[in-house]
Amino acid sequence: KKTVDKWMDNKIDFIVKKTSEYYDETLFRSALQSSYFDMQNALKWYMRRCVNKPNKGTINKFIEVQAKLLSPIVPFVTEEIGEVIGQKGFMSITDWPQIKDVMDDRSEDIIRDTREDINSVLTLLKLKSPKKITLLVAHPWKYELYTILKAELQNSKDFKVLICGVMKNDSLKRYAKDITKIIQKVAKTGIDFVSNQDVEFTTINQSKEFFENEFKAKIEVIKAQDSSENKANQAVPGKVALLVA
């Protein structure tokens, strides 16, 4: 499965968990909001992201799980769905969807943010039909830096404290000039989540078709260390650098 399929699977599991909690607390309106509207919103984004080419296992999971979650509220409708998908027995008495541990999956955040960044750049350039958009994923050392800073920021936002914590790592000392600028920024904004270069590169690279469909342009995804463009140095974890032609 692709990253977006795994994200959707995890999103479904999250909604199962929340909906089950609402039913346990007899919060039926909240259960309906979660099991129908939240599920439909997730589906709309997923179908958009996979360019209407969903993973068969993921889409089957969605249909079955949503029908089961809605069965206490609209049993007649869900029984009809059960017949269509070949459900054995009545939907209302089948096993409830398994409540699983849910991962903190932020993979779609970078896709949404990248789409917004591209739109902003195109608006700024007054460019409606770009021919090529290059997405540059941050240098590996920046992920190491962000991981250290995320931990340090839990204790202090003082610049001297942060720079001392970072410079204990010999591998980062040669990037001192860039690190100074980064610390000045993240000390104000904070760091909520840090992935790694391979994960972010895979997520974005697997989304090329989505971006090509969105912007009608050729999309190229490059790791910063493989690019000779100065722009590559502007990429940071969770935020790619952009080149538009």
Residue of 58, 61, 62, 81 whose CA lies nearest to 71: 81
Strands, DSSP E only, in the chain? 132-137, 218-223, 241-244
What pLDDT score does 223 carry? Answer: 98
Q: Which two tokens stand for residue 32?
A: 């309906």
Given pLDDT bands bounded at 50, 70 and 90, which one contains residue 86? confident
Long-range Cβ contacts of 168-172 (<8 Å, 24+ apart): 169/144, 171/141, 171/144, 172/141, 172/144, 172/145, 172/148
Specify the pairing of strand 218-223 against strand 132-137: parallel
- Digit-coded pLDDT (tens) for 121-133: 999 999 999 999 9
Q: Which of 124-128, 163-167, 207-211 has the highest mean pLDDT?
A: 207-211
What pLDDT score does 118 carry? Answer: 97
Do 245 and 131 meet the contact criterion of CB atoms below 8 Å apart?
A: yes
Residue of 172, 182, 235, 242 whose CA lies nearest to 211: 242
Q: How far apart are CA 13 and CA 39, in angstroms?
A: 10
- Quick one: DSSP state of residue 153? T
Radius of gyration of the chain (CA): 22
What pLDDT score does 142 carry? Answer: 97
pLDDT exceeds 90 at position 120: yes
pLDDT exceeds 90 at position 93: no
How does the average pLDDT of the chain come out, rounded?
Answer: 94
- Digit-coded pLDDT (tens) for 62-71: 999 999 999 9
Do 228 and 140 meet the contact criterion of CB atoms below 8 Å apart?
A: no
Q: How far apart are CA 115 and CA 109, in angstroms?
A: 10
Do 210 and 8 meet the contact criterion of CB atoms below 8 Å apart?
A: no
Strands, DSSP E only, in 54-137? 132-137
The percent of residues in the chain predicted with pLDDT above 90, rounded, is: 88
